[in-house]
Structure 1
């Protein structure tokens, strides 16, 4: 990694000192995880080393080799075009998206793509394509990282489906998972995003091939990284019933045909869209209320915002000083680190939707170009924008704890106590997984 960092000429995405800063950050964040491990003597260092190498090689291939750049440029174009197919249904329901006055709103620009993607994934599940991809990916993880089949399947599925939903692939095994496996399954859900919301984050980070390949790299790197960091914090000391095996059980209720699969997927998509919309409305409103209370409290003691006197003191401003060292460890230039830490704090306290939206409002021009992409306004350099895209790319936030414990607790009622005890640790570990992936990318960019 050091050889790549020092051997790559300086560019707008990184200089040699900045890359070495990211490598130092990887070491520091790993040391923090080791310090808080539940059983340092049983940390599987082979799994840790392989996990580091896998995510490094993924990042190197996707971000630096010409073949990787070309492949993921093609994939990014394919994804953009594919998710854009949702406009056909949107135009039928609401009229032309070109003249629609709400075309740039979250409801119109993001939710239709989510609904379309979920319906499509349901069809892929019906024909067995998703199970095949997940099994092959999980098989690699089992062989290389020596993890169990159940936790590897969950990790492999997490970038494609949502947190909690990935665990449904191994539903019969959840009841019998070891505590380490449960922790790993939850970390996998927290450390990445679902494919259904990818289009939203692509829009928020520039809506161009670079932003798409960055987010795709983050999603793929999260698979080995989530397993790696989970095994540092919660090493396996029990015997797993799926050790060395990779099996995705058949669904209990098989869809009748493609149309049935699509319609059920659409119904799930509607529920997901309502959940996202309702959660965002409630969480953002509550966060705004809390921010106003904080601003009022500081105003009562005659303390104004020391960064921008025109703005009140806010929660994200206060938390930015806690997250500032993490932003530096990721490899973000020191001059951008304090402001970047605000977005990282918002992601953990509120959610990644709000963090990405705030990043977009701060770092990009208001109007999209003719091809639909957004241009940086110069507030952040390209390195900061790309590393923030990595650092925010995960479901690790306080609200997601309730989502995961509810879904997994419904699947395995007898494990509710274990899930409640592991949830906070898994969320924080998932956040570290995302940050370490960002730092590994920072060592290469």
Structure 2
């Protein structure tokens, strides 16, 4: 039965993407079929094989170690607070989940500085371009987004931002919204099972190309298909390290501020809806998103609850939704896994402003173009999350 529901889900996702396609006759189906098959193979390998378990375990162990090292620095600065938090059942969320972003950001900076990350990103992107039928720039950008983040990635291709037509710019921005940055992966792993985080990272990479190939199909000529990556300004090692540490701290502060605002506002809106209608805003949204939860493989009896968490992610962000998910005690393990995969992306309303602002900071005219197709970006990125959850649901 779950295979029939998954097939229905894939057809619904493709249909919804086809509805808003700006070039229905240009869609190339061969790369789509190849990428769907790759998603299924990778989903099975990661969730149902010993090799997948070993790889995910290794990945999780690395991040667990990094979080342990991060805790040394956090304890040194916030020792009293972490002790109080431990006595009351756990360190404060800001310290245990968000502060490690600083350390992981610093590590990314070091790998950038010694040229390991640029090499890996560039050549994985080149290999992907052979599979997805898109340009080298689009493939590079998708891999780079998963490492550098949805705003920082545009700096690495800033020389080409002003030269890109609207359709190629859309694909770059769609990749940035569909993936998550490596600096924040450790925070996710402290909230949901690492195997779902890793699975979502891999599936979203291909899912972004699949949906973009339907919503925004085009071909890139040899003359246009030039990958020119912006070299970072030469800095000393400690200048670079200080910059990445501060960048990581800024990300942690921004996420904390958004959590405070969104959690409080959702509580306020829930209170108003409960008083007026007798049902909370999140419960109401749960009914809207329940059909999507069902085609992802969630049993109908849990679909409204799952749909509420999915809606929370879209109207606020994935952190708020993950916090809601951790509070759920009645959801089955299968539903928890499917919803977890759905949550691992930047597909929410606030990301529209972040991405448009990042591009505008590099090229004002192109930033305005991005802002105009912002809702279409969110629509496509949300379909990517649904597709990844459907594929994962086949093996849970």
Q: Same fold (TM over 0.5)?
A: yes
**Are 1:23 and 1:443, in contact at CA under 8 Å, matched by a contact in 2?**
no
Equivalents in 2 of 1:169, 1:322: separation in Å?
39
Match of 1:402 among 353, 358, 382: 353
After superposition, what is the alpha-carbon deviation per residue over 1:274-293, rounded to whole angstroms, capped at 9, x for unaligned?
Answer: 21112222222233333333
Is residue 44 of structure 2 the alignment partner of residue 52 of structure 1?
A: no
- Per-residue CA deviations over 1:197-232 (Å, capped at 9, x if unaligned) read 222222222xxxxx2122111112211210110121
State the partner residue of 1:279.
Answer: 258
Corresponding residue number in structure 2 for 1:437: 388
Cα deviations by residue, 1:158-190 (Å, 9 ceiling, x for unpaired): 222221222222111111122222111121122
Higher helix share: 2
**1:256 alignment partner in structure 2:** 236
Is it true that 1:166 corresponds to 2:153 in the alignment?
A: yes
Q: What is the match of residue 216 of structure 1?
A: 198
- Deviation >4 Å, runs of 4+: 237-242
User: CA shift at 1:237, angstroms?
Assistant: 6.2
Decide which moves more: 103-112 or 386-395.
103-112
With over 3 angstroms needed to count, the CA separation of the structure-2 counterparts of 1:274 and 1:98, relative to structure 1, is: closer
**TM-score after normalising by structure 2:** 0.94
Deviates more, 1:44-53 or 1:323-332: 44-53
| 1:326 correspondence with 2:292 | yes
Aligned to 1:186: 173
Q: Is the 8 A contact 1:175 1:415 kept in 2?
A: yes
1:139 touches 1:246 (CA, 8 Å); kept in 2? no
Any gaps of 5 or more consecutive residues in structure 2? none
Match of 2:313 among 344, 347, 351: 347
Counterpart of 1:370 in structure 2 is none
Q: Which runs of 5+ in 1 are unaligned?
A: 1-16, 206-210, 299-303, 305-312, 364-378
CA contact (8 A) 1:87 1:97 kept: no
**Cα distance in 2 between the residues matched to 1:238 and 1:99:** 57
Question: Are positions 1:65 and 2:49 aligned together?
Answer: yes
Rounded Cα–Cα distance in structure 1 between residues aligned with 2:168 and 2:48: 34
| Partner in structure 2 of residue 230 of structure 1 | 212
Greater CA deviation, 91-100 or 381-390? 91-100
For residues 390 and 93 of structure 1, the distance between their equivalents in structure 2, rounded to whole angstroms, comes to: 34
Contact kept? 1:159, 1:220, Cα under 8 Å: no
1:135 corresponds to which residue?
A: 122
How many residue pairs were aligned? Answer: 393
Residue 5 (structure 1) aligns with:
none
CA deviations 1:212-255 (Å, max 9, x no partner) are: 12211111221121011012111126768642x4443312x122
